[in-house]
Structure 1
Amino acid sequence: MYAGDREVMAVAFLANLCVSRGALTGGGRHACARVCDRAQLTLNPLRASWMCSAASAGSEQDGFTLKSEAVRYERYKTIYERVVTYPDGAEYSFDVEGSPRANFSSVLVFPFNSAAKTTVLIREYHPGLHALRYGFVAGFFDAKVHADEEAAARAELSEEAHLTGGTMQLLNSGAPVPRDKYSLDYFHMFLALDAHLDLRPRERDEEERIDIVRDVPVTEAIDMVFRGEFNLSSATLCLMAAERLRKDSLL
């Protein structure tokens, strides 16, 4: 978590959950909006927008006003209906998805061996594609388990790639990366430099069946991006990591 943000982030997150689940109306909703206003003043505006995305009913952005928001489906993911008033006065309804139990936050990790110039992939089942696909370490941030996003990244690195230690660098400095046009979720992209084998890795989730593919040249991983072998988030992570490595003369 970013230094100095913890208190504001915690309060904004609670406001986020209350409003998104319909627990607050009227004055309570306006009070939560004031919490988000405080976050806007205290934090980087993009980061504040990320934290308060589901708690901003009634707010205006570039002439677009979020008139209302309601939960329409809730399970592993939550589907919200957002009614938005456009600058010309027209109103439209949208379905947007998010992960409130994960604070709308996921982590992705690109492991890099600086001596061999290689990375580590995982191969696992993708339910949406109904297929086995390659990708990088990824998982949700869990405030009950992780102290911050880096802790979540290290936990996932141990769980999925059986790696630990090394130096962790945040690739998207300044603000997290939006998942999608119709999503409230954001990605925190990490580069893990010279992590080593974890002899006591964390346990995986029961449904996870993961093959670890080690010693993959970074050049091959980049080729896999352009062959369409990664999902969009893993492809983005790969290109961001490769650019950082080039800038730091590590690749």
Structure 2
Amino acid sequence: MSLNINTEGTAATILSERVAHKRYITVWDRTTQFDDGRIIQWDIVGHDSPYPTFVVVFTYNTKTKTTCLLKEYVQGTNEIKYTCVAGSYDRRKHRYIEETVEHELSEEARLKGGTYINLLPKTHSPDGISELKWGKNRFIPFLCLDPVKDDTPMARDAEEYMEVVHDVAVDELRNIITRAEMMLPSVQTSWMALEYLKEQNLL
């Protein structure tokens, strides 16, 4: 058997799906069938919203060659971890995906402006990158070149508990990742951003 990479959300046939629980997070009871005939039930977790679910934004100052990270409270494991700027693509208040980037940069990192680059490969599903094996959420990774300080930032959500860390060098970023101190969507976005910056001779 040879399994082909599938990022389209069609790797198995979904036979049925129902909501088992819903509050901030939704849990679905899903039944799927593989090509070999096996039928399996799963618990799937995520937000009950269209894809992509959220954005992750890696900022980069081309003059200082540094990034801006957050130290943020992670409720699932009750930890403080490093993250990039990230937030939900809420179609009730965001007209398009880049507006989510703009709002989250202002709210979380107190930054504005810059050049936005969507890092999702053109061959990939536009729904975004899957966050977790058992999770339904998908995200779009972005690079923001040369944002500046926002003197009138947008308000953060009530539950957000974070500290902004400016001027993080690329070598220190790599150390943070290898010390396992960064959340995985931020690791994915950082890796893709660094590869883009290397290709553009910006590192």
In structure 2, C-alpha distance between the alignment counterparts of 1:138 and 1:81, rounded to whole Å:
28
List aligned pairs for 1:61-76, cutoff 5 A: 61=10, 64-76=12-24
In structure 1, C-alpha distance between the alignment counterparts of 2:36 and 2:116, rounded to whole Å:
46
C-alpha displacement of 1:104: 4.9
217-226 or 113-122, larger mean C-alpha shift: 217-226
Match of 1:158 among 99, 106, 111: 106
C-alpha displacement of 1:132: 1.3
Q: Which has the higher contact order (CA 8 A, sep 6+)?
A: 2
CA contact (8 A) 1:108 1:237 kept: yes
Deviation string, structure 1 residues 183-225 (Cα, Å, up to 9, x no partner): 2211100101000000110000011121111011122112211
74-83 or 180-189, larger mean C-alpha shift: 180-189
Deviation string, structure 1 residues 4-61 (Cα, Å, up to 9, x no partner): xxxxxxxxxxxxxxxxxxxxxxxxxxxxxxxxxxxxxxxxx95xx4xxx6xxxxxxx4
SS of the residue 1:93 aligns to: strand
CA contact (8 A) 1:126 1:133 kept: yes
Instruction: State the structure with more CA Rg.
Output: 1
In structure 1, C-alpha distance between the alignment counterparts of 2:113 and 2:173, rounded to whole Å:
22
Listed as ranges, the gaps of 5+ residues in structure 1 are 1-44, 54-60
C-alpha displacement of 1:85: 2.1
In structure 2, C-alpha distance between the alignment counterparts of 1:145 and 1:184, rounded to whole Å:
22
Change (3 A) 1:101 1:84: closer
In structure 2, C-alpha distance between the alignment counterparts of 1:158 and 1:210, rounded to whole Å:
13
CA contact (8 A) 2:51 2:138 kept: no
List aligned pairs for 1:11-160, cutoff 5 A: 49=8, 61=10, 64-101=12-49, 103-160=51-108
Answering whether residue 191 of structure 2 is matched by residue 239 of structure 1, we say: yes
SS of the residue 1:100 aligns to: coil
Higher normalized helix content (fraction of residues): 1
Aligned counterpart, 1:192: 144
Higher normalized strand content (fraction of residues): 2
C-alpha displacement of 1:151: 0.8
CA contact (8 A) 1:102 1:142 kept: no
Answering whether residue 120 of structure 2 is matched by residue 172 of structure 1, we say: yes
